[in-house]
Copies of this chain bind each other. A is one copy, B any other.
Amino acid sequence: MLKVGIIGVGTVGASVAKILQENADIISARSGKQIIPLIGVVRDISKDRGIDLQLSTNVDDVLENEEIDVVIELMGGVDEAFKVVKKALANGKAVVTANKALLAYHRYELQDIASLSPIGFEASVAGGIPIIKALREGLSANHINSIKGIMNGTCNFILTKMMNEKVEFKTVLEEAQNLGYAEADPTFDVGGFDAAHKLLILASIAYGIDAKPEDILIEGIEEINSEDIYFAKEFGYSIKHLTIAKKKSDDTVELRAHPALIPNSHMIAKVDGVMNGISVVGDRVGETMYYGPGAGGDATASAVIADLIDIARDGQNSPMLGFKKTLEGSGLSLLSPNEIYTKYYIRMKVVDKIGVLAGIANILGNYNISINSFLQKPDTKMKDYATLLFSTHECKEENVQAAMKELEKAEFSVEKPVMIRIED
């Protein structure tokens, strides 16, 4: 059993407690242990957070609590959080944090202190995307040539709206604030600082480089207007707030966070809305890209809990396949292929005469298959034949297989019909 205390029970903290309870089956099957949220530390104890968790206003109820194995630091800020994390480590507790500002300033001091107790910080960069793990472990054979990331959802939401809807920065910012995608004081996000903090964390893992926010180029998106969008569209670019880490041939590392014009042909230009995307180029693997939600309570909590599960496994190898067949949470059975329901596209080559379409519709109807869209392509090579292309509404695999056999045998059918499934 692993007992955790949560310092800061806002959106992410509440999600962590809720998921630990609601997904306890899969979490214990994967970690080999029960992970129990024991206590949450908050400023205002009277506020209802919609979760079943004992609350306190005193951090020492977690930090000095001998029952607690792991401290989850979600209070934010730099100085106070640094004190809390140092005390937790000094008291022999493992730490999981989502605090990118803390790490942007104190990550190497923490690494030095943490040589015995682990510190998990997957949630500090790009929320639910396991980019820390990918970079630190998945790509560990590589010298990293470059990292290019869209790592701030607020900026990306605003720029995507500006690209798609011809609205100006201030208008979209207000909308983002109303939707909860931007803070009342949006400077930290739209000024590029949040993304820069995340970049510094990734740059350490890629290059072992200890830079502070003050050392690097940071610009925000406040000055971008519709004329810039016009230019970008004219020349085939998207405007994104981009973080860049690049190793140069002279062994210097370039770090910067700023808006950038990116060619539309690049995958990362397609990362829209509040989503994050990070392209990593390794000298051996080439380019890999990671895409997903960079913020939000549940997505960030997903990363916090992944770190908890790693700590629960405690250096033991997890079962090779994640969990054993017989463990709780894996009591699933395989659906018979016949029972699949999806939409289908069907191509037929038929004799071009009256009544054929009715014949097809008849056969399909007998199997409860209804046509959604239909195209007839004139067959230029053979004038007496027509190619019919149509898609169906959702129906049952078994029925489609049977209908395909009947369609093949029908007297108007010239070739074996072909079917491709549609995945909406």
Tell me which residues across on chain B come within 8 A of A122, comparing CB atoms: 138
Contact of A327 among B121, B208, B209, B323 (CB under 8 A): B208
Determine if A163 is an interface residue (Cβ-Cβ < 8 Å).
no
Q: How far is the CA of A41 from the CA of B346 in the complex (A)?
A: 49
How many positions in chain A have a CB within 8 Å of any CB in the partner chain? 134
Knowing A138-B306, A324-B111 touch, does A334 contact B253 (C-beta < 8 A)?
yes
Closest Cβ of chain B to A350, distance in Å, is 13
Tell me which residues across on chain B come within 8 A of A140, comparing CB atoms: 26-27, 30-31, 305-306, 309, 322
Asked whether, in the complex, the Cβ of B228 is within 8 Å of the Cβ of A345, the reply is yes
Determine if A393 is an interface residue (Cβ-Cβ < 8 Å).
no
Knowing A252-B334, A377-B230 touch, does A285 contact B260 (C-beta < 8 A)?
no
* Interface residues of A, dominant DSSP: mixed
Contact of A231 among B134, B135, B389 (CB under 8 A): B389
Closest Cβ of chain B to A212, distance in Å, is 10
Number of copies: 2
Q: How far is the CA of A239 from the CA of B421 in the complex (A)?
A: 10
Interface residues of A in 224-278 (CB under 8 A from B): 224-225, 227-228, 230-232, 234-235, 237, 239, 242, 244, 247-248, 251-256, 258-263, 267, 270
Interface residues of A in 129-175 (CB under 8 A from B): 129-130, 133-143, 148
Asked whether, in the complex, the Cβ of A422 is within 8 Å of the Cβ of B237, the reply is yes
Q: How far is the CA of A317 from the CA of B318 in the complex (A)?
A: 14
Tell me which residues across on chain B come within 8 A of A235, comparing CB atoms: 373, 391
Determine if A355 is an interface residue (Cβ-Cβ < 8 Å).
no
Q: How far is the CA of A375 from the CA of B141 in the complex (A)?
A: 45
Asked whether, in the complex, the Cβ of A325 is within 8 Å of the Cβ of B133, the reply is no
Determine if A399 is an interface residue (Cβ-Cβ < 8 Å).
no
Interface residues of A in 374-401 (CB under 8 A from B): 375, 377, 387, 389, 391, 397
Q: Mark A176-213, 1 if CB is under 8 A from B, else 0.
A: 00000000000000000000000000001111111100
Closest to A20 in B: B141
Knowing A133-B138, A137-B310, A286-B299 touch, does A334 contact B211 (C-beta < 8 A)?
yes
Tell me which residues across on chain B come within 8 A of A217, comparing CB atoms: 337, 340, 397
Closest Cβ of chain B to A94, distance in Å, is 10
One of A2-10, A42-50, A60-68, A290-298 contacting the partner: A290-298
Other contacts beyond A138-B306, A208-B322, A208-B325: 11, CB < 8 A: A19-B284, A130-B133, A141-B304, A208-B323, A217-B340, A228-B345, A252-B332, A258-B420, A284-B302, A285-B299, A315-B316
A-B contact list, 23 entries, CB within 8 Å: A19-B284, A23-B143, A27-B140, A111-B324, A118-B317, A122-B138, A129-B138, A133-B134, A139-B302, A142-B302, A148-B423, A209-B325, A209-B332, A215-B334, A217-B337, A217-B340, A227-B377, A230-B375, A231-B347, A237-B422, A253-B334, A284-B302, A289-B290
